[in-house]
């Protein structure tokens, strides 16, 4: 047998029977795991839209794998499986539609809630990588991560793109995309899901032939992408040949693969790491997801009656303990790293992923790139940030988020509003700043390199809107006629927004901000379709809105330009100041003050290799200023309540007065460097 190209993500030693389609110029092998099926045939189509094609039966082996070997080449053609099985077995899911291969890496589909996906037999696109010299930081604390939906940074006219597809636009935009990341100064981007997902949902309030009635989503869209259909295939809707009109065909070419590779290559050339948000806790629910129709009882967690378990709150939980689920997850991670040069992954609702799979992901990923970034969203079925740290992963630190900001803008005010979470003592807050270490109160992590500190993510209100609602409760239900006008911060809102930013950026660990946080963007429901009764109100869950509710309007930076420059300066300072992100716990010494809302500490820069020592003071009092006493030397102010950066604002000695709801960062050359 001549050397073959793997159409699947190679399963390697984990599986005696490589699944998917393996092919060469003269031979093609199809293998599908479907142990409960009574019969399986593969249909090979000349064109995607063909209703019929060459139909060949597969034979079942003792492992429940169906197989056929054909002495012919079908490169450039499409295929799908016809699967027949027990119609009265609740542990088997039947469909009369052709089913694409779960191991597909090239998928063609229709803009329809069922997608009607077919797998295209094609070799990987020929691409010359130019990022050989790029390597992510060895220490993840050297990252400042920018979380974003890829389209949010290019869809608004203010991004100034050439409208050549989302992948291309992100690479070439004059204002949005990479240009914005460079302007801000971040060194990592975390994209919301890029794996092929179910963008279209069933039509609203109309029962489908499958008996589904969408009563929950009037937009009938999953814009964010947390409904994965194919783990190894890139999303084709972001390619230059894609269209969003109903029933249009996407993915007929390999432009999605090529253009995504070009984007990753371009990001690496700018020194920006690429992290992908991946969803392995559940799967797309209303399309022809192949996991459901090939081996429902294997790939999914079911109850004793064969119903999907739903700890993910999305309809169907993946059984990551099952052999072929685990193989598909692990091998897809390896595929994205090897084929697309992805530097890291954020795992959605990782609490539903078992520990053996967690360990295997780490082992296999680090064999490819020892510096790979693995981040858990550490809830789902379980809340275990400490568990991920114990297994060598980083995790989102919601205790930073909730302690500094609060839980809910209508019910909860955190430290930045001059309030203590009643469950926190002063020592607990000090431990948050040290990295939320297991050795301290409210601790989660073995070391600060496992703590991803954030105040805003794609979920919930933006930080700017959270602040607006806390300070002005009437804004929660106010109808705004103009989103740009709503974005403009009052003096008090700006004060809290800048204080929140400073508090985040002086906390040990990995820093993450969300797109638009740097100018306190608001999410006002745009409703271009005229279907949303909440048009003009602030949105706290915009997962379904592919419109200006989510798209970033870069013109709004000018509205809150001072805050944007403040974030830009904090990013610059943090990346220039190792001690602000990776000092040892005993190098951070807190001062004792009677005022519980006044937090002041010094940082020794020795172990981090910083040329400076630091003195940081955070005054969470909303009305009372606070005078701090400085050690007997001159100190350079690099952050105050108006400016931030790595350059000196002014020098002071003996004392400094910190304004309400603000802070200051001072530094001095270490004695050994003086």
Q: With contact defined as beta carbons under 8 Å apart, do 398 and 350 qualify?
A: no
Instruction: Give the contacts of 141 (CB within 8 A, at least 6 positions apart).
Output: 448, 449, 508, 509, 510, 581, 582
**Nearest alpha carbon to residue 187 among 195, 196, 200, 178:** 178
Span 420-431, average pLDDT: 85
Residue 426, pLDDT score: 85
Span 509-533, average pLDDT: 98
- Joined tokens for residue 183: 């302007």
Report d(CA 69, CA 631) in Å as an integer: 78
For residue 234, the 8-state DSSP code is E
Residue 146, pLDDT score: 99
Q: Is the pLDDT of residue 586 over 90?
A: yes
Does 5-120 match 584-673 in CATH topology? yes
Helix (H, G, I), strand (E, B) or coil at 373: strand
Angle 340-18-91 from CA coordinates, rounded to 5°: 105
Residue 1, pLDDT score: 35
What confidence tens digit (pLDDT) does each residue in 601-641 have? 999 999 999 999 999 999 999 999 999 999 988 999 999 99
* Sign (positive or negative) of CA dihedral 266, 272, 273, 279: negative
> Minimum mean pLDDT among 292-296, 449-453, 668-672: which range?
668-672
Domain boundaries, the chain: 5-120, 584-673
Please, what CATH class does the domain formed by 5-120 belong to? mainly beta
Could you give the count of Cα atoms lying within 13 Å of 514 in the half-sphere of its Cβ? 23
Residue 672, pLDDT score: 66
> Would you place residue 2 in the very low, low, confident or very high pLDDT band (cuts 50, 70, 90)?
very low
> Would you place residue 326 in the very low, low, confident or very high pLDDT band (cuts 50, 70, 90)?
very high
Q: With contact defined as beta carbons under 8 Å apart, do 564 and 166 qualify?
A: no
- Quickly tell me which residue has 């006002």 as its tokens: 524
Residue 425, pLDDT score: 83
Residue 655, pLDDT score: 96
> Minimum mean pLDDT among 4-18, 66-80, 197-211, 495-509: which range?
4-18
**Nearest alpha carbon to residue 435 among 603, 613, 297, 299:** 603
Span 149-159, average pLDDT: 99
Report d(CA 658, CA 598) in Å as an integer: 10
Residue 626, pLDDT score: 95
CA distances from 473 to 185, 244, 297, 408, 422 (A): 34, 38, 48, 12, 22
Report d(CA 471, CA 493) in Å as an integer: 7
Report d(CA 642, CA 463) in Å as an integer: 19
Tally of CB atoms within 10 A around 526: 18
Instruction: Give the contacts of 210 (CB within 8 A, at least 6 positions apart).
Output: 286
Tally of CB atoms within 10 A around 626: 20
> Would you place residue 269 in the very low, low, confident or very high pLDDT band (cuts 50, 70, 90)?
very high
- Joined tokens for residue 568: 């830009």
Q: With contact defined as beta carbons under 8 Å apart, do 380 and 282 qualify?
A: no
> Minimum mean pLDDT among 150-154, 165-169, 481-485: which range?
481-485
Q: What is the model's pTM? A: 0.96
What confidence tens digit (pLDDT) does each residue in 483-506 have? 999 999 999 999 999 999 999 999
CATH topology of domain 584-673: Immunoglobulin-like (2.60.40)
> Would you place residue 360 in the very low, low, confident or very high pLDDT band (cuts 50, 70, 90)?
very high
Span 187-207, average pLDDT: 98
What confidence tens digit (pLDDT) does each residue in 88-110 have? 999 999 999 999 999 999 999 99
For residue 125, the 8-state DSSP code is P
Span 160-182, average pLDDT: 97
**Nearest alpha carbon to residue 263 among 171, 330, 373:** 171
Span 426-435, average pLDDT: 93
Q: Is the pLDDT of residue 3 over 80?
A: no
**Nearest alpha carbon to residue 613 among 626, 631, 627, 629:** 631
Q: Is the pLDDT of residue 13 over 60?
A: no
Report d(CA 511, CA 146) in Å as an integer: 9
Residue 14, pLDDT score: 42
């Amino acid at each position: 047998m001549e050397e073959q190209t793997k159409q699947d993500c190679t399963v390697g030693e984990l599986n005696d029977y490589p699944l998917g389609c393996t092919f060469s110029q003269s031979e093609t092998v199809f293998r599908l795991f479907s142990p409960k099926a009574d019969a399986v045939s593969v249909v090979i189509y000349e064109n995607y839209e063909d209703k019929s094609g060459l139909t060949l039966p597969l034979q079942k082996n003792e492992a429940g794998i169906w197989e056929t070997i054909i002495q012919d080449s079908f490169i450039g053609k499409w295929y799908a499986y016809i699967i027949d099985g027990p119609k009265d077995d609740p542990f088997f899911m039947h469909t009369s539609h052709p089913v694409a291969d779960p191991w597909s890496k090239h998928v063609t589909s229709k803009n329809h809630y069922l997608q009607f996906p077919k797998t295209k037999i094609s070799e990987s696109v020929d691409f010359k990588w130019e990022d050989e010299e790029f390597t992510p930081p060895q220490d993840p604390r050297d990252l400042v991560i920018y979380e974003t939906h890829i389209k949010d940074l290019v869809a608004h006219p203010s991004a100034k793109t050439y409208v050549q597809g989302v992948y291309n636009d992100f690479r070439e935009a004059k204002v949005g995309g990479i240009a914005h990341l460079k302007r801000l100064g971040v060194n990592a981007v975390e994209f919301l899901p890029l794996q092929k997902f179910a963008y279209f949902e069933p039509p609203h309030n109309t029962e489908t032939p499958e008996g589904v009635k969408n009563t929950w989503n009037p937009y009938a869209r999953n814009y964010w992408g947390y409904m994965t259909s194919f783990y190894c295939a890139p999303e084709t809707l972001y390619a230059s040949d894609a269209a969003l009109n109903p029933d249009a065909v996407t993915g007929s070419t390999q432009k999605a693969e090529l253009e995504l590779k070009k984007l990753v290559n371009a990001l690496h050339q700018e020194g920006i790491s690429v992290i992908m948000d991946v969803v392995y806790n559940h799967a797309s629910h209303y399309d022809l997801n192949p996991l459901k129709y090939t081996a429902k009882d294997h790939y999914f967690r079911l109850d004793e009656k064969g119903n999907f378990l739903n700890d993910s709150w999305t309809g169907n939980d993946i059984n990551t303990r099952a052999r072929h689920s685990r193989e598909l997850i692990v091998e897809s991670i390896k595929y994205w790293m090897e084929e697309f040069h992805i530097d890291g992954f954020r795992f959605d609702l990782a609490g539903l992923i078992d520990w053996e799979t967690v360990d295997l992901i780490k082992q296999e990923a680090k064999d490819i790139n020892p510096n790979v970034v693995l981040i858990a969203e550490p809830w789902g079925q379980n809340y275990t940030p400490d568990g991920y740290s114990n297994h060598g992963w980083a995790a989102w630190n919601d205790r930073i988020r909730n302690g500094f900001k609060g839980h809910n803008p209508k019910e909860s005010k955190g430290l930045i509003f001059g309030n203590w979470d009643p469950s926190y003592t002063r020592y607990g807050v000090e431990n948050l700043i040290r990295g939320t270490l297991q050795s301290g109160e409210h601790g989660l992590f073995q070391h600060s390199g496992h703590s991803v500190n954030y105040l805003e993510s794609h979920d919930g209100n933006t930080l700017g809107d959270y602040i607006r609602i806390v300070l002005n409760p009437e804004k929660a239900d106010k109808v705004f006629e103009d989103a740009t006008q709503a974005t403009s911060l009052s003096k008090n809102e700006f004060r809290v927004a800048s204080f929140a930013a400073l508090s985040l950026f002086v906390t040990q660990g990995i820093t993450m901000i969300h797109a638009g946080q740097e100018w306190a963007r608001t999410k006002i429901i745009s409703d271009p379709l005229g279907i949303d009764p909440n048009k003009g109100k602030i949105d706290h869950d915009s997962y379904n809105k592919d419109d200006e509710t989510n798209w970033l309007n870069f013109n709004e930076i000018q509205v809150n330009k001072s805050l944007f420059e403040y974030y830009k300066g904090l990013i610059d300072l943090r990346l220039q100041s190792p001690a602000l992100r990776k000092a040892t716990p005993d190098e951070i010494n807190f001062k004792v003050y009677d005022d519980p809302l006044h937090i002041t500490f010094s940082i020794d820069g020795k172990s981090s290799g910083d040329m400076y020592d630091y003195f940081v003071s955070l005054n969470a009092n909303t009305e009372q200023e606070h005078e701090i006493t400085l050690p007997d030397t001159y100190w350079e102010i690099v952050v105050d309540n108006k400016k931030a950066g790595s350059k000196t604002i002014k020098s002071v000695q003996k004392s400094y007065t910190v304004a309400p709801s603000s802070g200051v960062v001072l530094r001095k050359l270490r004695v050994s460097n003086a």
